[in-house]
Structure 1
Amino acid sequence: MKIHKISILFFSLISSLSVYGQTTQQEMFDEIEKTGGVYYVYQAPEKESLTAAPKGYTPFYISHYSRHGSRYLISDKDYKWVIDLFAKAHEQQALTPLGEDVYTRLTKIWPEAEGRGGDLTPLGRRQHQGIAQRMFRNYPEVFTDGRKISARSTVVLRCAMSMAAFGDQLKGMNPKLDITYEASEKYMNYMNFHTDESNKFTSDQTGPWVEEYKKFEAEHTRPERLMNTLFSNADFIRKQVNPHNLMWGLYWITSDMQDMETRVSFYDIFEKQELFDLWQCINYKFYVGNANHADGKGIVVANAKALLRNILESADQALQDPSIAATLRFGHDGNVIPLAAILRLNDCNVAVNQPEEVYKVWSDYKIVPMAGNIQIIFYRNKEDRVLVKFLLNEKEARIPLDTDQYPYYDWNKVKSYYTNLLDR
């Protein structure tokens, strides 16, 4: 039995490393959309790949936290200042043929983007509908007539809209489900919590990592080639263009196009190495701001303690009340990332501190693409023993506990493990 247990743990480790281990430059080049990082479109499972439950076990409860679905750039001005700059260059005949073509493309996306800064896109709604549909089909025993579902979101509209899309899909599949929806400040103390100590560390103005980052960003942002392909007038560049800022502005628009309905692309104006380098910068910033940067000594991951406590308390309620089917939560990338770390899912808690090393061990798009989510599926047998399975973006994930039934873990051991983490 001991040898069997070790073998299962070994092979589960190897299989998960293939997904969440080192990211290579070639991987990014092969699917350039990944350089969008947190703007990467959610990848639904291509086929059923979930491990069957151990004999005699039936799913009865699901605990869940999801990032909102695909959205537009945070503000209209993130599009508008770039469009206005190209409009001025167009008027002054300072654009190359490629620059004119880029300007035309920018004008095509504005009708969709205008007035929608930060909003959920139609694709974002479809993502949550799809996740809900697969959840219902994979665990039909959970969603039987009359069972109760608590759905809560942060007070940000795109999160509430994601919650509505998810819940409406479940309700459409079984109209007899009892779903309550809430988006309230009352729950923000665990739905989107950050300590003052954490905010001080992650500040991009005064954080202890900022000077090193500035040098790293300067080394990885090389806009000269791009500017010369877009603008034909060196005097216009000198007087009107901040090449560094424009390169980043175009990067964000380029990255977000995969989340929009308008079928326009800007990948052709960049070299793949340029996109990879820009992504390294933003990937590092998300790592500092939300994950387990070694210099932070766990203070950022600790932001998820209140959420983890809610998960444990909600599970206790579901174990005592057979009418409870699911607890659904909808928030942001800055909530899913530390939750994945504090749960110790796969390699999400890895701790490094050198900017150039981060992408090799931690990648934002693998944890929080648009609609990125964590699910904990609870199973019970006739002897009332409870097992749980963890899913990260609908893929089975490991945690650092022994089990001879991977990906299933004994709930009592899991609860004890996380309770001890909360007490540290």
Structure 2
Amino acid sequence: MAKFKILVVILLGSCFHKATAQSCNTAYLGTKTLYKTPSKAKRDIPSGFKVVFVNHLNRHGARHLTKDVNTSFAWGFLKKADSLQMLTPDGVRLWQTIVKLNKVEHGNVKNISGEGKTELYELGERLYNNYSEAFNKPVKINFAITKEIRTRQSADAYLKGLKSKIKDSIIITDRVDDTNLRFYDLSPAYTKYETEGAWIANLDSLKVQLKLADMEQRIAARWLKPALLQDLKIAQTDKLISDVFGFESIVYSVKDEIGAAGFSFTDVDLSTFFTCDELTALGKIDAAEGYYQKGPGLDNNGIQVKIAAPLLADFIKTTDAFIKAPKYNAELRFAHAETVSPFAAIMDVENASKHAASSLDIDKTWKPGDIIPLSANIDWVLYKNAKGKYLMKFLLNEKPAKINGIKPATGYYFDWQIAKQHYLKKLIALGAFLNGNMNEYLSGLK
């Protein structure tokens, strides 16, 4: 009888753990973390100063998958396994869930979701609410996007929120600016770094430490019958788990579309196919890959950060252009995580440029969900007083940022000239100016 009670407890414990997997800490979502609206900050503007200009970068909003579910390895593999009756009961349930997700995503891939539109709309509203003094008549906005449709959709939603607050007419100019916003696609050196960089050995070492191969084998064993599992190659197992984990991380962004397709969230919730520990481990690997590919990595001045130099120069130039001859109330840019993360690192934003003590600590030191969640954004907010002095406030995800290497004039406000000199010297050190001629650049702005 006692043994029976113990067995019941063990079985119930196992079922409970599995049933509540979807309530795990969602830090594993990393770059797919939904944007969190910050609490309203108190107005701490230095006496005599007022906001005059905003320079802004925004990652696109919450989105759908970038490729159709039914073109993935997981789809083709599970579909065939199901037809051969080689799936376990959990495997059958997984396949049925992915079929439902395919219906949700069909026709929506590469687009931002309803959640994303809401995130961007509210960000546009808050831009005006927080910096209304900058939007004096006539209001002129200049914005840039990339070739990807989700950046255009994000810009449209953001501007819709901004315009809902501005009652006067707005003059808007726009452009596609892949040079400054998709720099990671234009650098042969970076392409080589992605495929051959020393960081790959570090990531492989982390996978060994986390015993990834064994973990993926255990996961696959819950979905596939032994006869199929024994013929599965390691690379195939890895791809299967990776695809399903990718599907799982997107469902939080498409809740509106899940309902529109006639399903509930639980109908497409894939977290129940993993344990909390498995989700955490997979999240660690995702965070590490992002850290090495588009964060501080092995070298904070490495190619993965250096590629953001054109965007840093553009922020400096557009800020100084405003000071010289105000033309736009705000410069807005809509891009990608691969844009925002290296830009935050090259800016020396404190929590975006920290080095982790070890690969196992990356997700605790460099947190993608805090730095580059969906709709992540960076603001350079310029303030001026009656004497013509300018202060700059830097914000990451609407929160004031500390900048390594620059001492603030007061609070989170930096003397613009000092901040500019810091960044120009950094650009020269990175080889961003031909012949290191900073004076030539400066003279062109006088």
Same fold per superposition (TM over 0.5): yes
User: 1:291 corresponds to which residue?
Assistant: 295
- Structure 2 gaps, min length 5: 1-20, 259-264, 430-446
Corresponding residue for 1:38? 31
How do 1:175-254 and structure 2 match up within 5 A? 175-184=167-176, 187-194=177-184, 195-203=187-195, 206-218=196-208, 219-221=211-213, 222-231=215-224, 233-239=225-231, 242-254=236-248
Which of 374, 382, 386 is the aligned partner of 1:382? 386
Shift of 1:308: 0.7
- 1:296-340 Cα shifts (integer Å, max 9, x gaps): 752221111111111011011212334421000111111111110
Distance 1:305 1:422 in 2: 7
Q: Pick from 253, 278, 281: which aligns with 1:259?
A: 253
Quote the Cα distance in structure 1 between the aligned partners of 2:175 and 2:70: 27
Partner of 1:270: 274
Aligned length: 391
Asked if the contact 1:50–1:395 (Cα under 8 Å) also holds between the matched residues in 2, the reply is no
Corresponding residue to 1:90 among 70, 82, 86 = 82
* 1:390 alignment partner, SS class: strand
1:7-406 correspondence to structure 2 within 5 Å: 32-45=25-38, 47-77=39-69, 80-184=72-176, 187-194=177-184, 195-203=187-195, 206-218=196-208, 219-221=211-213, 222-231=215-224, 233-239=225-231, 242-261=236-255, 262=258, 263=265, 264-295=268-299, 297-351=301-355, 354-400=358-404, 401-406=406-411
AA in 2 matched with 1:122: G
Q: 8 Å contact 2:380–2:395 — kept in the other structure? A: yes
Q: In 1, distance between residues paired with 2:106 and 2:23?
A: 32
- 1:410 pairs with 2:415: yes
Are 2:416 and 1:422 aligned? no
Q: Distance in 2 between matches of 1:393 and 1:29?
A: 26
**Structure 2 SS opposite 1:83:** helix
CA contact (8 A) 1:70 1:123 kept: yes
1:259-292 alpha-carbon deviations (Å, 9 max, x no partner): 1122231112211111111112121111121122
Whether the 8 Å CA contact 1:295–1:353 is kept in 2: the answer is no
Deviations 1:194-222 (A, max 9, x none): 4332332222xx22232443343353341
The separation in 1 between residues aligned to 2:202 and 2:107, in whole angstroms, is 36
For 1:299, give the aligned amino acid.
I
Shift of 1:343: 0.9
Q: Distance in 1 between matches of 2:189 and 2:84?
A: 50
Q: Quote the Cα distance in structure 2 between the aligned partners of 1:370 and 1:88.
A: 34
Aligned-partner Cα distance in 1 for 2:287–2:364: 11
Q: Compare 127-136 and 164-173 and name the one that shifted more.
A: 164-173
Deviations 1:324-362 (A, max 9, x none): 210001111111111101111123222458533422321
- Tell me: CA distance 1:294–1:227, structure 2 relative to 1, closer, same or farther (3 Å): closer
Which TM-score applies when normalising by structure 1?
Answer: 0.85
With a CA cutoff of 8 Å and minimum separation of 6, indicate the structure with the bigger relative contact order: 1
Give the structure-2-normalised TM-score.
0.81
Decide which structure has the larger Cα Rg and report it.
2
- Distance across 2 between alignment mates of 1:128 and 1:388: 24
CA distance in 1, matches of 2:354, 2:85: 51
SS at match of 1:421: helix
SS at match of 1:324: coil
How far apart, CA to CA, are the structure 2 residues paired with 1:372 and 1:285? 18
Task: Report if aligned partners of 2:142, 2:172 keep a CA contact under 8 Å in 1.
Answer: yes
Q: Which amino acid aligns with 1:213?
A: L
Q: How many Å separate the matches in 2 of 1:320 and 1:209?
A: 43
Query: How many Å separate the matches in 2 of 1:147 and 1:117?
Result: 34
Name the CA distance, whole Å, in 2 between partners of 1:408 and 1:121. Answer: 35
Question: What is the CA RMSD across the aligned residues, in angstroms?
Answer: 2.4
Q: How big is each residue's C-alpha offset from its partner over 1:134-173, in whole Å with a ceiling of 9 and x where there is no partner?
A: 1111111122332211011111111111111111221232
Q: Relative to structure 1, is the Cα distance of residues 162 and 326 closer, same or farther in structure 2, using a 3 angstrom cutoff?
A: same
- Percent identity reads 24
Q: Give the letter aligned to residue 372 of structure 2.
A: V
**Inter-partner Cα distance in structure 2 for 1:156 and 1:181:** 18
Q: Distance in 2 between matches of 1:172 and 1:61?
A: 19
* Structure 1 unmatched ranges of 5 or more: 1-27
1:293 CA displacement: 1.9
